[in-house]
Structure 1
Amino acid sequence: MTSLDPAPPRKSPSRPEDRRPLGTGPLTSSAVFIDRSLRHSLRDGEGLLMAVALPVMLLLLFTYVFGGAIISEGYVDFVVPGVILTCAGFGAASVAVSVNRDVTLGAMRRFRTMPIVASTVLAGHVVASVMRNLLATVIVILVALLIGFRPTATVLEWIAVLGLVALWILAITALFACIGLVAGSPEAANGYGFVLLFLPYLSSAFVPIATMPDWLQPIARHQPMGPLVDALRALLVGTGEAQLLAPLAWSIGITAGAMVLTAVALRRSGDR
């Protein structure tokens, strides 16, 4: 009588975390999606060019066409902070469309099947946009220097300017990413974002607030762009003492609010 070989021991079912591939933590997946967004930006040469060309054209338009009618001398020093922030808005607006395409074309659903944190997809869009916008901001400042912009800022004041601009770019980009997540189509996402691009024109970015109607002046002073433009102008050309509390509060508050709304939207869009 032959003996049967003992059956091999049965393996216990692996837990989900046991099946997770190595290197799919939040930092790694964020780096992958940042690289993905940057590659898309480089491939979209026309979009990248327009993100830089539009603010430069706006700077030249206001300086050489409207500047003399608004402020007779030194208008380029007055207008540069507003153009910098407008540049941030133009660059961040494309994030709403990019995120919405991921949602509506099915890429987000596919990413949800992978062992990654879903929010890292948006982190890739946001971080890549911040990097593109900072580059565009540097180009705008260089063009401004060529046409007569003469800042008086010290090294510490330039660091403060960079910090304020980077924080604002992060805030508005996070907000645009949230808009892209909840919009019904790329066209709708683009339309909602376009509305936010009017904020610089309702502030002291291009004209003194004193020239506005009385009922509009409080809105211009207390909306997010108002204190931010004034702080950048004070730091760059010394128009007064820079008040940093209000612009910091606006930027941090918008970023935090966008993150909360994005987290809620991600939970509700699981089947999109």
Structure 2
Amino acid sequence: MSQDTATGTGTGSFGYPAPNAVVGEGSFAALWEHSRLQCGRLLLRWARDPATMIQALIYPALTLVMFRIVLGDSITAATGQPSIFGTVPMIVLVGAMFGSVVSAVGLRAERESGLLSRFYTLPIHRSAGLVGRLMAEAVRVLVTSIVIFAAGVVMGFRFTQGIPATLLMLVVPIVFGMGFAMMVTVLATLSTKIPLVEMVSIVCTLLMFFNSGFVPVMAYPTWLQPIVANQPMSCAIDTMRALAVGGPLAEPMIKTLAWSLGMFVLFLVPAIRGYRRAAQQG
């Protein structure tokens, strides 16, 4: 080699080109680039993991089919309202939540294997790991939502409010999923002795059976109706239903944003601290 390879001008087989886009480790450009790489890494890993694919796509789709076959006609006959316009949004949110659980389990595995610690020692932006994970969550929720909406269309679900409303309907589960994912991330970075899957599954199950998508709010006991009507899943379901077939939109949308942004802000600092702690101690 005629010159030092560190200068990038060497002619040997191990010569490297001189860097021409050097950015600071803590710069916004580094945050974007490193987060994008982390996002791609996670998406590729999830795509190759059967458990993630089952929880994110197959389980929600089968749940939708089950609800439609077993309960769909009964709920429609009892309430006088087509059940499909509540069931499809409900299952979209269920897919977002259960997919986050699998993602959190993967995060815990990366902590235990020491992968987070190895990333932490590299010259990358310190926030890239968490930001990249949230970016991957957003993509996962979007793909899951599209698959479930497509299955719902086959079963009778329709978009009647135009293209802008349809596109906005895809945004609702992403916003909801970001808030939920932030909460699950906090739990995943706590002690490994915490039964993460069991705890979150109980919460998801309760939310799934006590919301306005399962049956109309009026079908629940009177004392329970205010709780069901204002829990986060019901607000998001009512928003998506209004975007699909019309109806009051402003109130459920405001409540959905309040719940989602509230969870995101509430768990943001604990998630950052927990992620840093997991990377340092892993």
Does the Cα contact within 8 Å between 1:230 and 1:242 map onto a contact in 2? Answer: no
Report the Cα distance in structure 1 between the residues aligned to 2:181 and 2:106, rounded to whole angstroms: 12
Residue deviations 1:12-38, cap 9 Å, x none?
A: xxxxxxxxx946522222122112101
Does the Cα contact within 8 Å between 1:92 and 1:129 map onto a contact in 2? Answer: yes
The question of 1:100 aligning with 2:108 is answered yes
Report the Cα distance in structure 1 between the residues aligned to 2:238 and 2:208, rounded to whole angstroms: 12
Count matched residues: 251
SS in 1 for 2:189: helix
SS in 2 for 1:213: coil
Distance 1:116 1:192, change over 3 A: farther
Q: 2:196 aligns with which of 179, 189, 194?
A: 189
**Amino acid across the alignment from 1:252:** L
**Amino acid across the alignment from 1:63:** R
Shift of 1:200: 2.8
RMSD after superposition: 2.2
SS in 1 for 2:159: coil
Shift of 1:85: 1.1
Residue deviations 1:102-129, cap 9 Å, x none?
A: 2222112222222223332122222112
Q: 2:213 aligns with which of 178, 190, 205?
A: 205
**Amino acid across the alignment from 1:95:** S
Q: 2:161 aligns with which of 153, 160, 163?
A: 153
Shift of 1:241: 4.0
Shift of 1:175: 2.0
**Amino acid across the alignment from 2:129:** V
Q: 1:228 aligns with which of 236, 239, 242?
A: 236
The question of 1:265 aligning with 2:270 is answered no
Report the Cα distance in structure 1 between the residues aligned to 2:88 and 2:272, rounded to whole angstroms: 35
The percentage of aligned residue pairs carrying the same residue is 26
Shift of 1:63: 1.1
Does the Cα contact within 8 Å between 1:77 and 1:149 map onto a contact in 2? Answer: yes
Superposed counterparts of 1:117-196, under 5 Å: 117-184=125-192, 188-196=195-203
Report the Cα distance in structure 2 between the residues aligned to 1:86 and 1:93, rounded to whole angstroms: 11
**Amino acid across the alignment from 2:240:** L
Does the Cα contact within 8 Å between 2:90 and 2:213 map onto a contact in 1? Answer: yes
Does the Cα contact within 8 Å between 2:96 and 2:177 map onto a contact in 1? Answer: yes
**Amino acid across the alignment from 1:191:** E
**Amino acid across the alignment from 2:222:** D
**Amino acid across the alignment from 1:47:** T
Does the Cα contact within 8 Å between 2:60 and 2:94 map onto a contact in 1? Answer: yes
Does the Cα contact within 8 Å between 1:81 and 1:205 map onto a contact in 2? Answer: yes
Residue equivalent to 2:82: 74
Gaps of 5+ in 1: 1-20
Does the Cα contact within 8 Å between 2:72 and 2:83 map onto a contact in 1? Answer: yes
Does the Cα contact within 8 Å between 1:130 and 1:173 map onto a contact in 2? Answer: no
**Amino acid across the alignment from 2:281:** D
The question of 1:29 aligning with 2:34 is answered yes
The question of 1:112 aligning with 2:120 is answered yes
Higher Rg of the two aligned structures: 1
- TM-score with structure 1 length normalisation? 0.84
Report the Cα distance in structure 1 between the residues aligned to 2:160 and 2:250, rounded to whole angstroms: 13
Residue equivalent to 2:227: 219
**Amino acid across the alignment from 1:245:** I
Gaps of 5+ in 2: 1-20
